[in-house]
Amino acid sequence: MKLLFNALVKYSVGALSVGVLIFLPAGSFDYVNGWLFMGLLFVPMFVLGTVLLVKAPDLLKKRLNAKEKEKTQRGVVAFSAILFVCGFVVAGLDWRFAWSNVPWWCVTVASVLLLASYALYAEVMRENAYLSRTVEVFEGQKVIDKGLYGIVRHPMYSATIILFLSIPVVLGSWWALLCFAPYVFIIAVRIVSEEKFLENSLEGYSEYKRRVKYRLFPFVW
């Protein structure tokens, strides 16, 4: 019950916060792209959270913990939060003052990518029961090198990049895309720092790095 309460509180606060950041700058609830985004983001999130609560409560508990201990990772989280706030606000203002003209086919493609990133994210969690939101190593943890982890070393971050870069397009704002774009570089910093930690803390990770060459996307990085 404590885990359920914690999950519901964070879910509700998150949905309310994003709604305020989007619709307040827009100055209206007629922002159709805003409602589309809210549905695409929070309906699958609720379903995924429910599944985790029933089938993998320990993993859900890890995902709800966002308190980073390492200085670099705290900075990554802080900068990411700033980008997201700016992106949502700019998207709302963009709709209000009609700065962008994003075709609906672009919005549709971005919506499909957003849902695809959720499916990818769910598969990552199915494969890796140690998947915490913070950079840490648990007792008895082993290197996961099968499935998506046999293709790239950080499939979760691959999913989040697809997710977050699709968000501003779903919201119908090219200007918001400029706000979200630096997230790619922030994730790169997080990965470099995280891999140094894992090499020192997780047995077999150095060998895993030699076997799986790419971090995020095959033949890219």
2-211 architecture in CATH?
Up-down Bundle (1.20)
Residue 140: pLDDT over 70: no
Give the C-alpha separation, 46 to 52, whole Å. 10
pLDDT in tens, 153-164: 999 899 999 999
What is the pLDDT, as a whole number, of residue 138?
65
| Closest among 180, 135, 140 to 162, alpha carbons compared | 180
pLDDT in tens, 38-90: 999 999 888 888 887 887 777 777 666 656 666 666 777 788 889 999 999 99
Q: What is the mean pLDDT of residues 190-210?
A: 86
Confidence of residue 96 (pLDDT cuts 50, 70, 90): very high
Q: In angstroms, how far is the first alpha carbon of the chain from the final one?
A: 42
What is the pLDDT, as a whole number, of residue 64?
67
- 15 and 39 in contact (C-beta within 8 Å)? no
Confidence of residue 168 (pLDDT cuts 50, 70, 90): very high
Least confident of 19-33, 149-163, 192-206: 192-206
Residue 24: pLDDT over 90: yes
Residue 7: pLDDT over 70: yes
Please indicate whether residue 105 or residue 201 has the higher confidence score (pLDDT).
105
Give the C-alpha separation, 90 to 55, whole Å. 38
Average pLDDT, the chain: 87
Q: Which residues contact 72 (CB under 8 A, 6 or more apart)?
A: 189, 190, 193
What is the pLDDT, as a whole number, of residue 1?
74
Q: What is the mean pLDDT of residues 192-210?
A: 86
